[in-house]
Amino acid sequence: MYPVNTSTAARSSYHHGDLRNALARAAADLAATGGPDAVTIRGAAREVGVTPTAAYRHFSSQADLLAAARELAMNGMVVAMAEYLGQVPDDGDPVDRAIERLLSTGRGYIRFAQDEPGIFRTCFTGQLRGAADPDPGLDAMGPYALLGQMLDELVALGYLAAEHRPGAEAGPWAAVHGLALLIIDGPLRDFGPAERNAAIDQTLAMTVRGLATGPRGRAASH
Amino acid sequence: MYPVNTSTAARSSYHHGDLRNALARAAADLAATGGPDAVTIRGAAREVGVTPTAAYRHFSSQADLLAAARELAMNGMVVAMAEYLGQVPDDGDPVDRAIERLLSTGRGYIRFAQDEPGIFRTCFTGQLRGAADPDPGLDAMGPYALLGQMLDELVALGYLAAEHRPGAEAGPWAAVHGLALLIIDGPLRDFGPAERNAAIDQTLAMTVRGLATGPRGRAASH
DNA sequence: CGTAAACTTTAGGGGTGTTAACTTGGCATG
DNA sequence: CATGCCAAGTTAACACCCCTAAAGTTTACG
């Protein structure tokens, strides 16, 4: 009944050696299949082959474990999005290209939510207010930073007016975030693929049009 | 230890007389303070002053009770939104007025989410896929229908192009929905009121601009 | 007056978070 | 080398939850 060496750097017998990470990983796995509600101390401990109370040596509470899972989930999300974004071709008109990159970022966001709803939900839903969060919000800023770069590009190219740049992340982010949630566990969840994609295209098109406040933006109709 | 007459039409002694509704109401109360996770058979029964097993006479499961709570929550939301919408003045240019109504709808949505996060979450999050849902999605269509009317108005006034009308609900809905969730339990939750309102204004402005595809729309800059 | 519905108690099997007290064993120190 | 400390694990237990089942009590109604 000694701990099973599930994955990395684990000593062989009584002391696990890397229990914290192993538990966090297990928690992330649970989140992937069952969403944040499936992240449980007992479940993670069981998966690692360890007593539930052992987990309390490394995590002060279930919320703490969930936070660790969320961090891993967030990493997974930015990696997946970056990977998806890397596939967009780098040719054509600069403005079109910048817009295409923005669109791909949004599509990557929504696609990830659809492909890994459990992880996506874990990233964003069920945040505790008073939880001990060392860097508040900054860990969830992965997609935010990415979006910021896109918008900077659009300003530089004259598509988005400079005076509209401050705080411009809110709109596009809200749009893709909301759409993702409406699709994965909102009223749009039983749309077929066609309707779903139509909703995505329409939302992204509206967003891009709504950002066209600069000189070059008002020219392009899209 | 006889049941306390919490509210409406309850007979006095052994038979409660309106237990189903009382439980649903209690469940909605629990949802209001603690979100959907706080909706529990035992909790609702306790609040009403009744044995947990008695609840199973009226609800087949906790999910069933939650569904009832969600229905009440949804009603509360449409009422609150309608009330808020009723306050917008009915004067000025028709297009401006229609846009103002659209904006107010969005503001009402977000405001409700902020004022009653528990109820809002109960409306939209944690939907079970296989749950016995008599009219799938249609109960959650309250805000959706309202939005549809606004968009029809905008088409009639030439602000939104008719060819963009089909499925145009997705974008605006996604935007306000996403913003609401980012604010109440997403990364934007610890924004101050000022930043929060700025994000709301910016998102709504972007949305309105993004809908301006008709002849009258392209003229107005807003 | 008797049936049946509404509600009650009791009991039990499974899940969860969390605390308290105990045991094991690695490692440093005398 | 022996010793003993202390962290990493353990078992046990309490409280809460969902859900099911069986058997009893009250009340409405035909």
**Could you read off the pLDDT tens digit of each residue along chain A, which spans 222 residues?**
333 433 333 444 566 779 999 999 999 999 999 999 999 999 999 999 999 999 999 999 999 999 999 999 999 999 999 999 999 998 889 999 999 999 999 999 999 999 999 999 999 986 654 444 445 444 456 778 889 999 999 999 999 999 999 999 999 999 999 999 999 988 898 899 999 999 999 999 999 999 999 999 887 644
| Near-strand D residues (CB closer than 7 A) | A 1, 3, 14-17, 19, 50-54, 57-58; B 11, 13-15, 40-43, 52-53, 56, 60-63
The one-character DSSP state at A155 is H
Q: What's the confidence (pLDDT) of residue B92?
A: 87
Q: What's the confidence (pLDDT) of residue A137?
A: 46
How many CA within 13 A on the CB side of residue A17?
13
Say whether the CB atom of B12 is under 7 angstroms from strand C.
no
Element (H, E) at A72: helix A62-85
Q: What's the confidence (pLDDT) of residue B12?
A: 53
Q: Which residues 6+ apart lie within 8 Å of A138 measured at CB? A: none
Q: What's the confidence (pLDDT) of residue B66?
A: 96
**Angle A183-A188-A189 from CA coordinates, rounded to 5°:** 65
Q: Give the position of tokens 């109440």.
A: B184
Using CA atoms, how far residue B166 sits from A171, A203, B47, B84, B135, in Å, is 22, 12, 46, 27, 22
A194 class by beta-carbon count within 10 Å (0-12 exposed, 13-18 middle, 19+ buried): exposed
Q: In this structure, which long-range contacts are made by residues A30-33, counting pairs with CB atoms below 8 Å and at least 24 apart in sequence?
A: A30/A69, A31/A66, A31/A69, A31/A70, A31/A73, A31/A118, A31/A119, A31/A121, A31/A122, A32/A73, A32/A116, A32/A118, A32/A119, A32/A122, A33/A118
Say whether the CB atom of A87 is under 7 angstroms from strand C.
no
Q: Which residues 6+ apart lie within 8 Å of A86 measured at CB? A: none
Cβ <8 Å between B174 and A171? no
Q: Does B96 touch chain A (CB under 8 A)?
A: no
Q: Which residues 6+ apart lie within 8 Å of A135 measured at CB? A: none
Pull the structure tokens for residue A7. Answer: 């994955």
Chain Cα centroid distance, residue B77: 4
- How many residue pairs from chains A and B have C-beta atoms closer than 8 A? 153
Q: What's the confidence (pLDDT) of residue B125?
A: 79
The one-character DSSP state at B89 is -
Contact (CB, 8 A) for A70 and A131:
no
Q: What's the confidence (pLDDT) of residue B57?
A: 93
Q: What's the confidence (pLDDT) of residue B118?
A: 96
Q: Residue A2 and residue A19: Cα distance in Å, rounded? A: 13
Q: What's the confidence (pLDDT) of residue A219?
A: 74
Contact (CB, 8 A) for A119 and A32:
yes
- Other beta carbons within 10 angstroms of residue B56's beta carbon come to 15
Query: Which residue from A173, A190, A200 is facing B137, i.e. has the nearest CB?
Result: A190
Element (H, E) at A210: helix A193-210
- Other beta carbons within 10 angstroms of residue A221's beta carbon come to 8
Q: Which residues of A touch B103 (CB under 8 A)?
A: none
- Among A37, A71, A141, A177, most B C-beta atoms within 10 A, so best to mutate, is A177
Instruction: Give DSSP secondary structure letters for A167-209.
Output: TTTHHHHHHHHHHHHHHHHSGGGG--HHHHHHHHHHHHHHHHH
**Computed from CA positions of residues B192, B122, A140, A71, in that sequence, does the dihedral angle turn out positive or negative?**
positive
The string of pLDDT tens digits covering residues A154-199 is 999 999 999 999 999 999 999 999 999 999 988 898 899 999 999 9
Q: Give the position of tokens 């004022």.
A: B115
pLDDT in tens, chain B (222 residues): 333 333 333 445 666 778 999 999 999 999 999 999 999 999 999 999 999 999 999 999 999 999 999 999 999 999 999 999 999 998 889 999 999 999 999 999 999 999 999 999 999 976 544 344 444 444 456 778 889 999 999 999 999 999 999 999 999 999 999 999 999 988 898 899 999 999 999 999 999 999 999 999 887 644
Amino acid in the structure at residue A210: G
- Other beta carbons within 10 angstroms of residue A145's beta carbon come to 11
Q: Give the position of tokens 């874990």.
A: A122
Contact (CB, 8 A) for B58 and B19:
yes
On strand D, nucleotides with any atom < 7 Å from a protein CB are: 7-12, 16-22, 26-28
Cβ <8 Å between A173 and B173? no
Element (H, E) at A114: helix A94-115
Q: Does B188 touch chain A (CB under 8 A)?
A: yes
Q: Residue A94 and residue A99: Cα distance in Å, rounded? A: 9
The pTM for the full model equals 0.90
What are φ and ψ of residue B24, in 5° steps?
A: -60, -40
For chain B, the residue count is 222
Q: Does B220 touch chain A (CB under 8 A)?
A: no
Contact (CB, 8 A) for B128 and B63:
yes
Q: Residue A130 and residue B129: Cα distance in Å, rounded? A: 31
What end-to-end distance do the CA atoms of chain A give, in Å?
Answer: 64
Q: Residue B152 and residue B143: Cα distance in Å, rounded? A: 14
Q: What's the confidence (pLDDT) of residue B153?
A: 95
Residue B129: which region, alpha, beta or left (left: phi > 0; alpha: psi -120 to 50)? alpha
